[in-house]
Structure formats: structure tokens, C-alpha cells
Structure 1
Amino acid sequence: MDNDRKAPGVGRRTLLAAPAAAALVAAPAVGLLAGGEPASAQSGGSGGFDWQSPRFALAVLPDTQYLFDEDSSNPAPLEATFRYLKQERAEANIAFMTHLGDVTEHGSDHEIGLADQAFRLIDGKVPYSVLAGNHDIRGGDDQRGDSAYLRAFGPRRFANVPSFGGASPDGYNSYHVIAAGGREWLVLALDWRVSDAGLAWAQGVIDAHPRTPVVLTTHDLAFAEENGQAHLSGNGQRLWDRLVRRNDQVFLTLNGHYWPPGRTTLTNDAGRDVHVHITNYQDRYYGGAAMIRLYHFDLVRGVIDVETFSPWFLARDPAKRSPLEAETIELTGPVDRFTVDIDFAARFQGFAPVTPPAPRPAAAVVSRTTVAYWRFDRSGLNGAVSAGAPVPAGAVARDLTGNGNDLTLQRLHTSAPEVVTWSDEHHPGQPAHASLRFDGGKSPDRGAILRAGPDAPINSMKFLTGYTIEVFVKLPDPFEGDHAWMGILNWEGRNGDAGKTTGWSPLEPTCSLNISPERFLQFVVYPQEQDADPTSWSHALPVGRWTHLAVVNDSRRTTVYVDGSKIARNPTQPSTGICTMGRPFVVGANSFDLGYGQGFYGWIGDIRVSSKALRPAQFLTPYE
């Protein structure tokens, strides 16, 4: 930092005039290689980085200037950080590192030379960007011309780096396109004082990558109050007005220069969030000790988890750490360790809309081992109507295998027509883009079922060699009312009539898939071969989003999967077949003593029953 932290934008030292401009050195534009792999994924010394994983990290390194301060210089902390990044690249799946400027204190040949040597530790090992802070150069904006910084960290350093996209003609602004999370991301590294020409160049870079999300890095953009609330600085306001707010692709900005660290969320011209973060620890013990932040992107959970720590102190023998070293190993305050919630698909919708997969025909998901397959679009449901309209009693969900296991809709008791309606909602990976919305409840007058005919083959199948039952469900948000033990599907038939003696009640059906009061999934089966009732229990199912459920039995035991993930509470006791008794297979409720007291509450999509144990990669929505 260059001045009192309460007065952003005023330099502590007089900024001097600069020599002539540097020449442009630019790498070819980064695109997709044949086979769909980004060129930026083709980096030497990748260290085991997996560019296709939906979880990856961006390392952020702020002001290291006090480590490079003439005869007080000590590169050791930065070297420890670089060793950490190399060693942990595969484990943490670190895609890239970005330095936020003020690499050195005075920008002298001596200081820059020491920094140059330190950065060579990760050259070719971890891709990175670096930009000039005001301590690295001697005044002016990015048109200042030659400098020791530019000679060491200008575009020539990155000319052979696959992620490097190019630099502005002056050499002080650059960009990288990195491959991570199965897509490309653009890191824009801007000089601490970008000229109008530099801003025009930056706009051109963004325009040339119209579908790529952008992380903007610079030295001076925002400062924070003691409570961590961030505000744009004078220079930051200019960058915001001239570049950030008008480009929806910029979703995250990172800067150093000021302390304390902080953050805020601003709204751009498209009405979407831009996360503005300040990272700087030069005021901490040992000038921050080359402390880094790891921004852990998790595209599955829709979050960025942020942690801040010093690899140099972390590597020390705990018994030999000084009190200040122990205190500074990791920072855990709300501006140093936090989570940013981002629905990435929604945030990037304006410039990179996700094209949903097209419906798949029944023939694409039916094989010789498919016993029955039902779907509720117009290809599978007689009586499919407009979204939100009741499905008439007597509507038939055809078994699209041709095996004759058609299901007929009937309302329970005196339930109103609205108890089951047609919907175009569906799981993203579901073959059919349709579902049924059930509005069942504890009252016997709130429910509907889809019931197989009395002669349907599925009613009597024993599945002695194994089976897989799949169904897509979605629970409403909010999940209102008492829906304890509502059933998704079952085979009718009292287990006691089959001679089973182990269950909770001899009146419950021989096989059912239900939801407990805690929204735990329950699969209970009375096997054909054993006098037993092995029961699987999941965690609480989420509300407000679609879930794929799969029950897999290999003729020895049963395993339940939720969204392709094996649940914890799968019993290991033997379970061979299903003790079906010739009574109907039913969707939308759970029978008890051959009757139905309540219906399902939520959406049900495609259902498939197979006569073999399928692997997750073979599910209706495949999982690797």
C-alpha cells in the first residue's frame, strides 16, 4: 500500500516520468483444439491438474513488496508459496495463479531481479499472471514505456505459455485464457493505471471472447472499512464505469493495494452480481509472508470457497513456530475465509446460455433388459394436456418397452381433479421433458395413483437375477404440510400373506420406495428368497430441485443411489429378488393392507425398471 489506507488513490511517493513504450508480444488466440480440448489445457508440467473436473482453484497472491525491499529483501516466503503451489497443484486442482501487483517495494533492478528468480520456480509448472502495482514502476499510466518490471514480467516471459492470450501494445496489460471446470475462463490482468488506450484494448479482448466469463485483476480498484465493507476507489470507479459494469462477462474482480481486506457485491448494467474483493496482507507479520488465497470453485455446489494462509509458516515445524508465525498461519475472519454463492449457469446466462439437452426418444433408453419404461410426455401419456391442467382419470401411461405394463391414472377416493396435473418441468438429464405434479396429502381425499393392469407382467416378476429401479422426483419448496411416509412407488401385496415374519407390519407391501418425515428416502423390500426386510435409508432429500433415484440389486444385496452417489445406509444382508404376489405395481402412493391413505406430494418424472443391476454410467442420466 502506498498511502494512508483511509485516503485511497494518492501515492505516498512522487511518481516519476517513464521512458519509451515497449513492443507488443502476443501469443495466438486460445481456442478449442480438435477433440474439444482447450489449447490452454495443453501446458507442460501440468502437475496432475484436471481441467475437466467441476472443482478447481484459483490462487491469488497480493502485494509481496516488503519481501523485495533492497538490502532487506527475503524471497524465502514467496519461494515457499511457489513450492506449495507446485506440490499441491494436483491435490487442490489449482488451475492458475494471479499476482495483484506491487511485486517489489521500489521496482529497482536489484529487487526485480530477485523477484524474477523467485517466479522462475513456477515457470512451466503453474500458469500465472502478474501485473504492475505503483511500487513496481516509476509513475505514469500504462504508456510509461520501458521499466525493469516490464523487462522481467512483460509479455515476452509468457510468449510460450499455452494460457497466454496476448498483451496490450505497451506490454503492461495482458490476458490469459485458462481451461478449468470443463470450460474456458479469461483472466484479465490490468496495470495499476490503465490508459484510455489500455481500456480500449481490454474491451477488445472481452469482445473477442464473447462467451467467456472474466476475472478482472488489477492493483487498485476498491478499498475497505475496518468491518470489511468495500467501496470503489477513485481509479476503481473509473474502471467500473468504463469497463466492468458494461461487460456482463466480468463476474469477479480482485485487487490489492489497500488494507484491510474486504469485499462487496455490485450490480452491473445487466442486473447481475459482480463480486469485488480486496486481498492484501502486507500489514501483517513478515509483510504478509507471501500469504495466498485459494478461490475454490465448485461448479456442482454453485459456490466459491475462499481460504487464506501462509505456506511458509505452514511448512514450519509446529514446535518451532514463533507466536506471531503461529498466529499468521491461517486467517479465518469473515473477510479471509468465506463462501460466495453463485449459480454459475444463471450468472453466465446472458452471454453463455446453457443449451439444455434435447429429449431422448424411448428407443435410446430401452434395452433388452428393460422390463418397463414410463414417461409423461405426449409420446408416453394418453391424456397429456397443457402445463398445470389436471390429467383426466383413466389416462394411460404406456409402457414404452411394449411389454404391456401400462399404468392407468385413478384418483384416490373423492380427490379433486387438481390432485394430479401435467407439467413440463423435468430433471436436466431426464430423457422426457415432462412430469406429473402430485398434490397428495394425509387426507384420503388428496391423492392419485398410476396402477398397472391386473394382467401386467411386472406384477409377478421376481427379479431373481437382479434389478434396477430408477425414478426422477422433485419435492416442492417450500415443503408444506405433513407428508410423512408418502410413497413414490410400490408393489401391492401384504408381506404377511407371503409368509414373511420380520417386518414392521405384516400389512405393509412387499416392496416400496417412500419418504420419511425427515425427507429421508426409504427403500424396503421383502426378498423372494429370504425371510427378511432389508431397508435402505438415504440422507434428507433436497427440496426445490430434481433428484435422480436408483435402487440396484445384484441378486445378493441392494444399493440405493441418489444423483449417482451411493448412500451410506445400504444393508449388507442378503436380498435376492422381490416377493411380488401378482398384485399391481403402483406409482404415486404406498399401499397398506391393500389400500391407499395418502398420495405423493411433488413431481415424478421418467421411471424405468430393468432386470439387471446397472452401473451408474448406465442410468437414465449417466454418472461416471
Structure 2
Amino acid sequence: MIRHAFAPCLLFVAGILLSHAALGADPLDAAPEGSFSIVVIPDTQGYLGQGTKRTPDSTDPVTNPVFDNHVRWITENLKSQRIVFVSHVGDIVDKNNKNEWAVARNCLDVLHGKVPYSLTVGNHDMKGSGDSTLFQKHFGAERFREFPWYGGAFEPTRPTPEFSGNNANSYQLFSAEGVDFIHLSLECNAPDDVLAWADALLTKHANRRALITTHMDLGILEEPKTKEGFIHDPKGRMRWTKNHGKRGNTAEQMWDKLYRKHENLGFIFCGDQSRCTAMKLESKGDHGNTVHSYLSDYTSSGPLRIYRFLPKENRVQVITYDTTLNEVTTTTEYVKDKAEHQFSVPYQLTPASPRS
């Protein structure tokens, strides 16, 4: 009898605690008039079901609840958050097999035709050699050519399109609140011919503000030798590769060969380093411009990134928001400091042209 008498009380207390927890969570305010947002989706390797890394003994069909939450939240909040573009940092899949790619395709079909978006090829999205055949099969250039914002893709002159071709590297053109952008998605460890293509595009579109998403940029400087090294080793712009063999460029080489040369480049978005989770780096380009580099890899869990551009204030508000818990993210297992997840940076948005 005592047990039954206490049960309603415990439920009542639990309800109060849950209510307080919900009230204590920082709310996500609507984007103000005159602003616009770019959403960056971190690595989405959290597949569940038969044959997946997380549930290897399961016989259930393959799913990805976090990825599904991301795209549905984005479509439901296009207006309230004034979302004008979405970029995925790569590692769209985990095992690079047809089952996971089919799920990824279904997830991204939710966005298709509703908002401009780009996909970046991560190391899990291709073979170590750089062969991205399965990515190209599911997200080749033909899928995007109907959209006016789709600029095109790198096409290699060598007779091996499975390496770097057919939308493995792409660019998009879009505008918001009178500001014109070019965005490039560059595959993990992009080779020199890809960088030459990107260099020509950034030069051609020098009057547009430039954004780049690539998979590896910030993280552990040198390839770790121990498990602990992936957490505690020195961090910065990375000096090691995972793909394309000797042809692959490190993040540091990509900075020297491409990023630093372009006055209109303002932001680089990346993923790959889940145990670093969130990092930021400000670098000076050759023309004195500040390039903001941001890592967001939330261990394929609920958070994504919202970059809210505020032209009237000449700044960008960076918001990390968990679409599973429906609350802003203020701390994680590896990065406790709220200021690494919620912050703002100055960014000159007036005049509209970077060369005005």
C-alpha cells in the first residue's frame, strides 16, 4: 500500500522536475526581420538497424533518426529561422553501403526543392582511394541541375570520374537580403585539380561573398597515435589526410593553395573530428581579410549549427541547436564551454559586395 501511495507523488515530482528542466532550457528565438540563416548539418553517421556500426546485431531496417530530425526541423523552420541555404559537412553515411545511402537519399528528399543545399563528401562517403561512386549514384549532378542556384560541379579531365567527379565537388549561387554568395563544397582532401577549379570559380565570382564547406579543416594537427590523442593532442588546421593517397591535400595545404588567396572568402565549415566536436579559428588571408573557420561534429547526435547573419549589425550569430531535444546546446562531453557552442562574430555585411 505504501508503494502505491508514493507512486502518484513520485510521478508528480518527476513531472515538476521535467517541467523545470524544460523551462530552464534556453529557447531558440525567431530570426529577426532583415536577417537570414545558413544551417550547417554536422556528420550524420548515426545509422541504426541491420549491419550498422551502432546496432550490429539488429535485424531491423536501417534508419537514421537524427538525420531525419535535422531535415524535418529545417523544413518546418524555414520561415521562422529565415533559412536560405543548408550545407552538410560530409560523412553523410558511416559505412558507405547502398542501405545507408538509400536512407540518406530519403532524408535529403525532405529538403529537395524546398531550400538550396549542398553536400560535401567526407572520408566515410568514399573509399580511401577517393572513389565516391555510391555518393555520385545517389547525389550526382543530374539531381541538382534543374535548380537555378546550382552552379555546377568539377569534372575531371582524367578518365576516372569516380574520383572527384559528378558532384563530388560542387558550387552554389544564392542571395539573401541583397547579399550575393558563392558556396563551394570540396571533398575531403581535395586534390590539386579540384583546388584549381575552385580557385578559378572564386576569382570569377570575386564580387560575391564566398563560403566553403569541406570535411577536414580543423581538428587534431597531426594524425594521432593513440585513442587519447584524438581528444588531447594539439589542435589547429590539420596536417594529415585520409583520402586520395599522395594526391590528397591536407587542410593546411588547402589553406595555402586556395583559401588564403581570396579576399571574398569569409567562412569555412567542416566536420570529421567528433572528439574535438566544436572548434573555431580566425585566420588572415593574403588581402587582410578575416577567414572564420568552424568545426561542428556533434558525434552524430542531435545538434546542428545555425549561422544567423545580421546585416544591420554586421555580425553573425552562431547557434548550436539540438533538433532531437528541441533546445540550444550549451555543453557536450568533450567541449564543456558554452562559448564554443553559442557565440557571435563580427562580419561586415554592408556594403553588400566584399569589394565595394
TM over 0.5: yes
Structure 2 distance, partners of 1:103, 1:147, is 14
Change (3 A) 1:227 1:60: farther
1:515 alignment partner in structure 2: none
Instruction: Tell me whether 1:103 sits opposite 2:92 in the alignment.
Output: yes
Instruction: Tell me whether 1:241 sits opposite 2:275 in the alignment.
Output: no
Whether the aligned pair in 2 keeps the contact of 1:57 and 1:96 (CA below 8 Å) is yes
Residue from 47, 59, 65 that aligns with 1:76: 65
More strand by share: 1
Higher relative contact order, chain-length normalized (CA < 8 Å, sep 6+): 2
Residue from 145, 151, 154 that aligns with 1:159: 145
Residue from 241, 244, 267 that aligns with 2:284: 267
Instruction: Tell me whether 1:65 sits opposite 2:54 in the alignment.
Output: no
- 5 Å matches for 1:191-590? 191-223=187-219, 231-234=236-239, 235-258=250-273, 259-282=276-299, 287-289=300-302, 291-314=303-326, 333-345=338-350, 351-353=354-356
Structure 2 distance, partners of 1:232, 1:126, is 31
TM-score, normalization: structure 2? Answer: 0.73
Structure label with greater radius of gyration? 1
**Residue-by-residue CA offset, 1:484-543 (whole Å, 9 max, x unaligned):** xxxxxxxxxxxxxxxxxxxxxxxxxxxxxxxxxxxxxxxxxxxxxxxxxxxxxxxxxxxx
Structure 1 distance, partners of 2:126, 2:65, is 23
- 5 Å matches for 1:80-99? 80-99=69-88
Count of residue correspondences: 283
Whether the aligned pair in 1 keeps the contact of 2:331 and 2:341 (CA below 8 Å) is no
Structure 2 distance, partners of 1:149, 1:281, is 22
Segments of 4+ moved more than 6 angstroms: 225-229, 325-328
Question: Residue type of the partner of 2:67?
Answer: L
Distance apart, 1:336 and its partner CA:
0.8
**Residue-by-residue CA offset, 1:29-67 (whole Å, 9 max, x unaligned):** xxxxxxxxxxxxxxxxxxxxx9xx631000001111123
Distance apart, 1:98 and its partner CA:
0.2
Residue from 114, 132, 135 that aligns with 2:124: 135
2:135 alignment partner in structure 1: 149
2:17 alignment partner in structure 1: none
Distance apart, 1:326 and its partner CA:
11
1:394 alignment partner in structure 2: none
2:182 alignment partner in structure 1: 186
Change (3 A) 1:207 1:326: closer
Residue from 161, 169, 173 that aligns with 1:173: 169
Change (3 A) 1:327 1:298: closer
1:36 alignment partner in structure 2: none
Note the aligned Cα RMSD (angstroms): 2.8
Whether the aligned pair in 1 keeps the contact of 2:89 and 2:269 (CA below 8 Å) is yes
Change (3 A) 1:122 1:164: same
Structure 2 unaligned runs (5+)?
A: 1-30, 56-61, 156-164, 222-230, 240-249
Change (3 A) 1:214 1:326: closer
Structure 1 unaligned runs (5+)?
A: 1-49, 316-324, 354-624
Say which SS state the counterpart of residue 313 (structure 1) adopts.
coil
Whether the aligned pair in 2 keeps the contact of 1:229 and 1:262 (CA below 8 Å) is no
1:55 alignment partner in structure 2: 35
Distance apart, 1:114 and its partner CA:
1.0
Structure 1 distance, partners of 2:350, 2:331, is 39
Structure 2 distance, partners of 1:224, 1:337, is 22
Structure 2 distance, partners of 1:57, 1:300, is 14
**Residue-by-residue CA offset, 1:1-24 (whole Å, 9 max, x unaligned):** xxxxxxxxxxxxxxxxxxxxxxxx
**Residue-by-residue CA offset, 1:441-470 (whole Å, 9 max, x unaligned):** xxxxxxxxxxxxxxxxxxxxxxxxxxxxxx
Structure 2 distance, partners of 1:152, 1:295, is 27
Distance apart, 1:154 and its partner CA:
2.1
More helix by share: 2
Structure 2 distance, partners of 1:272, 1:58, is 21
Whether the aligned pair in 2 keeps the contact of 1:68 and 1:103 (CA below 8 Å) is no
Distance apart, 1:75 and its partner CA:
1.7
Distance apart, 1:211 and its partner CA:
0.3
Change (3 A) 1:183 1:121: same
Percent pairwise identity: 24
1:524 alignment partner in structure 2: none
